Structure 1
Amino acid sequence: MFYSCPLCLSPNQNFAFKGEFTHCLVCDLIFRAPKASFTGLGEKKHYLLHQNGPQHDGYVSFLKRAIDPIETHLLPNLQALDFGCGPGPAINYILQSYQISCDNYDPFFFPEGIKEKSYDFIFATECVEHFFHPNQEFEKILGLLKVGGYLSMMTEIHPGLNKINDWYYIKDATHVSLYSEKTFMWIALKYKLKLEYTDQKRVVVFRKTG
Structure 2
Amino acid sequence: MPTLPPPCPLCGGNPQPYHRDARRDYLQCPDCDLVFVPPQQQLEPAAAEAFYATHRNALDDAGYRRFLARLCEPMIQRLPTGACGLDFGCGPAPALMAMFIAAGFAMRGYDPLFAPDAAALAQQYDFIVSSEVFEHLAEPGAEISRLLVLLRPGGWLGVMTKRVRDREAFAQWHYIRDPTHVCFYSEATFRFIAARHGLLLEFAGADVALLRRPAV
Output the TM-score relative to the length of structure 1: 0.91
1:35–1:163 Cα change, 3 Å: farther
Alpha-carbon contact 2:27-2:38 (below 8 Å) kept: no
State which of 50, 54, 58 in structure 2 corresponds to 1:53.
Answer: 58
Task: Please identify runs of 4+ aligned residues in structure 1 that moved more than 4 A.
Answer: 34-37
Distance, in Å, in 1 between the alignment partners of 2:145 and 2:13 is 16
| Shift in Å, 1:23 | 0.7
For residues 29-44 of structure 1, the aligned pairs below 5 Å read: 29-33=34-38, 38-44=43-49
| Shift in Å, 1:37 | 7.6
Distance, in Å, in 1 between the alignment partners of 2:107 and 2:122 is 10
Superposition RMSD in Å: 1.9
Please, which runs of 5 or more residues in structure 1 have no aligned partner? none
| Shift in Å, 1:35 | 6.8
1:96–1:2 Cα change, 3 Å: same
Which AA in structure 2 matches 1:129?
E
Q: Is 1:18 matched up with 2:24?
A: no
3-state SS of paired residue (2:75):
helix
Distance, in Å, in 2 between the alignment partners of 1:72 and 1:203 is 14
For residues 49-128 of structure 1, the aligned pairs below 5 Å read: 49-112=54-117, 114=120, 116-128=122-134
3-state SS of paired residue (1:146):
strand
Q: Is 1:4 matched up with 2:10?
A: no
Q: How many aligned residue pairs are there? A: 207
| Shift in Å, 1:76 | 3.9
Which AA in structure 1 matches 2:6?
Y
Please, which runs of 5 or more residues in structure 2 have no aligned partner? none
Which AA in structure 1 matches 2:203?
Y
Distance, in Å, in 1 between the alignment partners of 2:168 and 2:184 is 14
Distance, in Å, in 2 between the alignment partners of 1:180 and 1:194 is 16
State which of 163, 166, 171 in structure 1 corresponds to 2:172.
Answer: 166
3-state SS of paired residue (2:109):
strand
Which AA in structure 2 matches 1:94?
M
| Shift in Å, 1:156 | 0.5
Deviation by residue 1:165-199 (Cα, 9 ceiling, x = unmatched): 21111110111100000000000001111013332
